[in-house]
Structure 1
Amino acid sequence: QVWDSSGRSHSVDLTALGKHGEVYTEGPFACLAWSHSETRLIYVAEKSWPKRQPSCPWDVPGAAGPAEEDEDEEVGAMAVLQGEQFVYHEDWGEALSTHSMPVLCVLDLESSSLSVLEGVPEHLSPGQALWSPDDRGVVFVGWWHEPFRLGLSACSNRRSGIFHLDLASGCCELLSAENGAACSPRLSPDGQRLLYLEGAVGGPHRQCLRLCLLTWQTRQRVTVLDVVQEPTDAFAGLYTEVLPPRCWAADSRRAVLGTPQRSRTDLLLVDTEAATVTNLTAGSPEGCWELLTLQWDLLVATCSAPHHPPSLVVAVLPPAGQELSLHWVPVEDTPTVPGVTWKTLTVRPSCSGQSPVAQDTQDFEALLLSPSDGTAPYPLVVCPHGGPHAVFDARWRPSMATLCRLGFAVLLVNYRGSLGFGQASIRSLLSRVGEQDVADTQLAVEQALRSEPLDPQRLALLAGSHGAFIALHLLTREPQRYQACALRSPVSNLPALLGTSDIPDWRYTSLGLPYSFERVPRAEEVATMLLRSPIAQAAQVQTPVLLCVGARDRRVSPTQALELYRVLRARGVPARLLWYPEGGHALTGVETEADVFKNCAHWLLQHL
């Protein structure tokens, strides 16, 4: 539906037109963009696939189906050829199982017509489209999908480029680097500049990215902000995978974006001509800022903290050079939650080996949430994040605040390899998974126990995915240390993921091994993976373990948890497995999330 000041102006049943399949409403491909004339809309949908026909009950070669079925055929649907009904069609993995072959679609409101654009090279899957300055073409992101697709969710390291498709000639032009991972194109208000993010192909699945700028007329590319190896107080690098849809200031020179900066997420103003960065929110009591939109130099954002649910704020962007005078005005303010305090702990690893390199001693951080009432010392719930290339920023997390209200302190650990601490820190984890991340988590726990009013006799682990991998290693190494453990979508058997995960490349990369599409595992590599797997030391676990998994998880197969559950039960370790039939890797959805939290909280209360 399209609405204007007079009410609803257009209503189009896209399904009835039969030109394409399901419209992509979220995820890395999704977009909905007006042409500059506001007469056309571009969006992304699944390609229209041939409709499967039921087999003839008489199974006679050449026999036709019932005649009346022809009357019910969907408009534009094609009948699949006999013998082709069960041909495998790849998809883009976890959270994108219905996304296989995206197509660019244009809805023309003046002519009331819908068209699927031609001219996109067959080896590309297009998405994130917008109109070129003159409306004569579209700019889009194209992901290479040959020889096969690797999981795209939370993976900014897939080969992709920024393309321009000329609608008149059908010519498709690559605007970004040939062998990069580019995304999130944003056209300046004057139509002269195109801003986008670009990273390296392969390696860590999320990385520090470059901010690039293309001059539209000359097609000249420059790097505005480069990858940051070592963070400074002023700038730690760019780690966001998506620029705000409207990020440009009215002067078509400055842009605003949000990105992790150590254990915060701040709003940064970038001068694209001077290549300078100004942190607009550094030092604010709120630890997480997100830009919703920037229009006519009016900033609309949300801000939150571990004890403060999101508030809606606005500000007018000052002239260039005066940005630090920016003043935020609350539109919808939310009160802080009583009974919860928080602080950031800085942790510095000790020197290891005779010749420590920079990343061996680079500090990292952990967020400590504590009850402000109740009786100290408090039981501590330790939470290493998943990813592993992710970050616990100082945002509002209802589940963590609730644990504090239940009397627990919560330690959110950003071990080395987390986003926001420089590319060198991210890469330091490669070949050291199951070692550096585990040691960092335990080091953060030891420091918190020394400096805070916490009970060392009441420790628990709460984690998911790679964080659960770290937690299981801690259980095997110090069987008496933790009294309870609750895990979501746990990684426990690395070699078993080679054939079951949508990101098999990560199994090699995480151990410092090269990956290529034609890669097949060698015996010694599988052995190395198994030695790094918690399942190999599961006999050491004595702590009661709760396991929560989604049956539809494409990233970490639920059979990982099932195998671990059977081993623990066989050895008499208290274990409980929750199996969510419709759940994916993240175990999202109101009912699922509520049930997972309720069971995890009860498990911690029961065993602590």
Structure 2
Amino acid sequence: MLKMSVQLENIISAYKTLSKIPSVAGAKLNNAGTKVTAKWSVRNLDKGKASKFASSYTLDSNLNVVDESDFGTDISNELLSAVSPRETYRALIREEKNGKEAKKQFLEVWSKKTLAHSVDLTSLDKHGDVYADSEFGGLQWSHDETALVYVAEKKLPKCEPYIKRKDDKPKNDGSGETAPKRGEEYIYRQDWGEQLGGKHLSVIVVFQLEGEKLSVLGGVPDSMCPGQVRFTPEGNGVVGVVWETEPRRLGLIFCTNRPSYIFECSLDGEFKKITGDGLAVRSPRFNSTGDLVWLQRKAGGPHHACHELVTRKKGSDTLSTLIEIVDSSVNISFGEASESFFGVYCQALPARCFTAAGNRILFSTPQETEVRSYVYNIDSRQLVDISNRAQRGSTSILDVRGDVILATCSSLKTPGQLFVARLPAESRETEIVWKQISSNCDAPPAVTESDVVYFELGDKPKENFTAIYFSPAVKDKKLPLIVWPHGGPHSNFVNAFSLEAALFSMMGFTSLQINFRGSTGAGETSLKSLLSRCGDTDVKNCKAATDYAIENYPIDATKVFLTGGSHGGFLVTHLSGQYPDTYAAVVTRNPVTDIASMFNSTDIADWCAVETGFDFTEKGPVTEEMLLAMRRASPIAHVHKVKAPTALMLGSGDQRVPHYQGLEYARRLKANGVATRIYMYEDNHSLSSLPAEMDNLINGVHWFMQHLKPGKTTDL
């Protein structure tokens, strides 16, 4: 008992150390490219939530830091912010709570000397909450600095019961408000699912600085939900994305496959679709000449897949493709050599992604085991990798001003830091030199001294997949291994800093992050190969990666563990059932355990159909063939063979994989005599609230340490 207590205290201490490392939440360059304003997020354990703070860095003409802010400025209650084009103003949406009072939202506009405008949006009551999420949200200035545009929840008409005692005399107070609707207060309203609860129907809001005039823009059809809006270069309209809402709002977050359109709408309410039917689009951006670009793919199918980069020239209705969807890989030049490019898998372009001339666009995208950054020349149609090659890891572009680029770089060994570079002239982009400008808190030596190895796995060229092996720098000792497939399934692991991976390493565990076939960043053919093979090839890939690690690296084969959430949870519960003698213990978060029963209650019913090989439709009957295929592809089909002690971390508010999936699986485990523990958190699918994260990570590592083989416990 004493030894176990010491182990637990060591885990807690390691987590507390890692929790003090801040992460980059965003950063911007000023117009001259000589000042960086960064936003950071750091876990505040006493508050039970993250604190956000801002810092600044002044650069000289050689991009060296000559001045840095002394202390961070707390910006935790800022939802959105935007500096005007000529840097005259800074606008922000602020949310405040006063004791037990309901929250209030304010729109503030600051000049460099004072607060120029402040509007109590909640009291004004022209719309509901402002959207600040990654799917819909944004705060954008007009080019002449006279107006702002953002997205908010549409104000609902007032409702009342059929029977309500009130004054029978009609009121004529001149407010212009219509009488409350009777008997409609309980009508069901769909929202956009997981992590977008309460977002039902959005509206576009324009704020004119002169006269502090706030108006809801008309013209968008009632059946469509707008987001990602920005002013046109002329300022007489907006461009954005609208999503179809009928016949059903399927979950939107992490799902780039929802039917949608790029649209433009004049300030007079004249609405026009720019893209056609059957597409899923996102991230519209204007260059300096008024050309519009965006990301585009076919609607439906897997939740995330390869995108093409599409453009419309100013003054033209003709659309053309700049970067096509890549089936496997294409060669792009790098100096005298060449390297593989697997396609565009980012979920958004940087808010400012063009060079000053407007003919070069910059973006970042996962590529197998890293996030890599590129510059694409629209005129020459040349694509060049400009990632930071001074260190192995991931490079993500944050902002572009003129020829100055701001990015964050990190690896499993090094937390994210800010880097700047000056983009060389056309055709010389490979000469780029990156300079680090921030140094916010290094990882502990146990993490920085760990080893990172990329695995290229698969016996045939068309069956290749990758994995990342992250191991403590320990010699002459076999270590326990944590096998860790990602969720999605159409996402991927990259060599970027992860608190969870760092915690495993600090506690003496090697981890193996597996990008099975079907992961993003490896070509469209590989991604779609998983459809109808879910629960089969992905499981076999994970077992093959496990075997490869055990055979080729110093791994104790009696101490191989499993962890994973969502589809990763689906895979680890499959592995413990299909290979019961290989794995010693399991920790799983919100796992999919029975696709057939999930089909009726998740916000992503299409996932259940598509991944098991069927077209998604809610018309007509649900066939027995489909339900049987879903059940056969599920871990519940193998639960009776499981031997490994299993801990399940579940979110009571999970709309994506409802928590009863885990409860049903746990009941089966217990009935079969398997050691089982359930943790239930008041959280959603990601379990990312700080109290939930802290508890499930600490308990997860502790679960593994408790189930190291008796008599063979590794000296940790």
Question: So what's the TM-score if we normalise by structure 1?
Answer: 0.93
Task: Name the amino acid aligned to 1:527.
Answer: L
**Post-superposition CA distance 1:220-241 (Å, at most 9, x none):** 2110000000124331100011
Alignment counterpart, residue 488 of structure 1, candidates 589, 598, 603? 589
Note the C-alpha offset of 1:336: 5.3
- Separation in structure 2 between the aligned mates of residue 280 and residue 184 of structure 1, nearest angstrom: 21
> In the alignment, which residue of structure 1 is the partner of 2:395?
289
How does 1:266-285 map onto structure 2 within 5 Å? Answer: 266-281=372-387, 283-285=389-391
Alignment counterpart, residue 153 of structure 1, candidates 249, 253, 270? 253
Alignment counterpart, residue 465 of structure 2, candidates 364, 370, 384? 364
> In the alignment, which residue of structure 1 is the partner of 2:714?
none
Contact persistence 2:142–2:148 (CA under 8 A):
yes
> In the alignment, which residue of structure 1 is the partner of 2:16?
none
CA separation of 1:560/1:50 partners in 2, compared to 1, >3 Å: closer, same or farther? Answer: same
> In the alignment, which residue of structure 1 is the partner of 2:601?
500
**Post-superposition CA distance 1:125-156 (Å, at most 9, x none):** 10000111111111010111111111111110
Alignment counterpart, residue 198 of structure 2, candidates 73, 77, 98? 98
Secondary structure of the 2:295 match is: strand
Note the C-alpha offset of 1:121: 1.6
Task: Name the amino acid aligned to 1:133.
Answer: P
Task: Name the amino acid aligned to 1:221.
Answer: L
How does 1:69-218 map onto structure 2 within 5 Å? Answer: 80-168=180-268, 170-191=269-290, 193-218=291-316
Contact persistence 1:50–1:77 (CA under 8 A):
no
> In the alignment, which residue of structure 1 is the partner of 2:155?
48
Note the C-alpha offset of 1:63: 2.7
> In the alignment, which residue of structure 1 is the partner of 2:446?
339
- Separation in structure 1 between the aligned mates of residue 511 and residue 231 of structure 2, nearest angstrom: 46
**Post-superposition CA distance 1:553-572 (Å, at most 9, x none):** 11101000011111111222
**Post-superposition CA distance 1:150-184 (Å, at most 9, x none):** 1111110111111111223x221111233211110
**Post-superposition CA distance 1:529-566 (Å, at most 9, x none):** 11111112211111100001111111101000011111
> In the alignment, which residue of structure 2 is the partner of 1:530?
631
CA separation of 1:145/1:573 partners in 2, compared to 1, >3 Å: closer, same or farther? Answer: same
CA separation of 1:306/1:78 partners in 2, compared to 1, >3 Å: closer, same or farther? Answer: farther
CA separation of 1:77/1:260 partners in 2, compared to 1, >3 Å: closer, same or farther? Answer: farther
Task: Name the amino acid aligned to 2:425.
Answer: P
Task: Name the amino acid aligned to 1:186.
Answer: R
Contact persistence 1:147–1:517 (CA under 8 A):
no
How does 1:319-468 map onto structure 2 within 5 Å? Answer: 319-333=425-439, 335=442, 337-340=444-447, 341-350=450-459, 359=462, 361=463, 363-373=464-474, 376-468=477-569
Alignment counterpart, residue 259 of structure 1, candidates 365, 387, 390? 365
**Post-superposition CA distance 1:561-584 (Å, at most 9, x none):** 011111111222111111112x10
Note the C-alpha offset of 1:196: 0.4
- Separation in structure 1 between the aligned mates of residue 388 and residue 635 of structure 2, nearest angstrom: 39
Secondary structure of the 1:265 match is: strand
- Separation in structure 2 between the aligned mates of residue 348 and residue 547 of structure 1, nearest angstrom: 29
1:36 aligns with 2:143: yes
Task: Name the amino acid aligned to 1:135.
Answer: G
Contact persistence 1:94–1:585 (CA under 8 A):
yes
Note the C-alpha offset of 1:282: 6.4
Contact persistence 2:596–2:630 (CA under 8 A):
yes
CA RMSD of aligned residues (A): 2.0
Contact persistence 1:479–1:540 (CA under 8 A):
yes
CA separation of 1:76/1:492 partners in 2, compared to 1, >3 Å: closer, same or farther? Answer: farther
1:235 aligns with 2:333: no
- Separation in structure 1 between the aligned mates of residue 326 and residue 620 of structure 2, nearest angstrom: 31
Contact persistence 1:91–1:149 (CA under 8 A):
yes
How does 1:491-570 map onto structure 2 within 5 Å? Answer: 491-518=592-619, 520-570=621-671
Secondary structure of the 1:501 match is: coil
- Separation in structure 1 between the aligned mates of residue 141 and residue 214 of structure 2, nearest angstrom: 14
Report the more deviating stretch, 284-293 or 412-421.
284-293
Contact persistence 1:234–1:279 (CA under 8 A):
no
Task: Name the amino acid aligned to 2:271.
Answer: C
Task: Name the amino acid aligned to 2:267.
Answer: L
% of aligned pairs identical?
35
> In the alignment, which residue of structure 2 is the partner of 1:355?
none
**Post-superposition CA distance 1:359-386 (Å, at most 9, x none):** 3x3x111001100137621100000000
1:63 aligns with 2:169: no
Secondary structure of the 2:347 match is: coil
Task: Name the amino acid aligned to 1:242.
Answer: A
Note the C-alpha offset of 1:42: 0.3
- Separation in structure 1 between the aligned mates of residue 451 and residue 178 of structure 2, nearest angstrom: 59
Note the C-alpha offset of 1:76: 8.9
Note the C-alpha offset of 1:94: 0.7
Task: Name the amino acid aligned to 2:165.
Answer: A
> In the alignment, which residue of structure 1 is the partner of 2:424?
318
CA separation of 1:152/1:315 partners in 2, compared to 1, >3 Å: closer, same or farther? Answer: same
Task: Name the amino acid aligned to 2:199.
Answer: H
> In the alignment, which residue of structure 2 is the partner of 1:299?
405
Task: Name the amino acid aligned to 2:579.
Answer: E
CA separation of 1:519/1:2 partners in 2, compared to 1, >3 Å: closer, same or farther? Answer: farther
CA separation of 1:17/1:78 partners in 2, compared to 1, >3 Å: closer, same or farther? Answer: farther
Paired residues, number: 588
**Post-superposition CA distance 1:91-149 (Å, at most 9, x none):** 11111111110000001111211100000122211000011111111101011111111
Task: Name the amino acid aligned to 2:142.
Answer: S
Contact persistence 1:24–1:46 (CA under 8 A):
yes
Secondary structure of the 1:308 match is: coil
**Post-superposition CA distance 1:402-424 (Å, at most 9, x none):** 11110000000000000100000
- Separation in structure 1 between the aligned mates of residue 651 and residue 177 of structure 2, nearest angstrom: 33
Alignment counterpart, residue 16 of structure 1, candidates 123, 137, 144? 123
Q: Unpaired runs of 5+ in structure 2?
A: 1-107, 331-338, 709-716
Note the C-alpha offset of 1:82: 2.6
Secondary structure of the 1:521 match is: coil
Task: Name the amino acid aligned to 1:344.
Answer: V
- Separation in structure 2 between the aligned mates of residue 4 and residue 296 of structure 1, nearest angstrom: 24
- Separation in structure 1 between the aligned mates of residue 519 and residue 164 of structure 2, nearest angstrom: 60
- Separation in structure 1 between the aligned mates of residue 254 and residue 167 of structure 2, nearest angstrom: 45
Contact persistence 1:374–1:407 (CA under 8 A):
no
Contact persistence 1:306–1:342 (CA under 8 A):
no
CA separation of 1:107/1:517 partners in 2, compared to 1, >3 Å: closer, same or farther? Answer: farther
CA separation of 1:478/1:182 partners in 2, compared to 1, >3 Å: closer, same or farther? Answer: same
**Post-superposition CA distance 1:427-451 (Å, at most 9, x none):** 0000000000000011111111111
> In the alignment, which residue of structure 2 is the partner of 1:354?
none
Note the C-alpha offset of 1:78: 6.7
Contact persistence 1:386–1:468 (CA under 8 A):
yes
CA separation of 1:519/1:490 partners in 2, compared to 1, >3 Å: closer, same or farther? Answer: farther
- Separation in structure 1 between the aligned mates of residue 477 and residue 157 of structure 2, nearest angstrom: 65
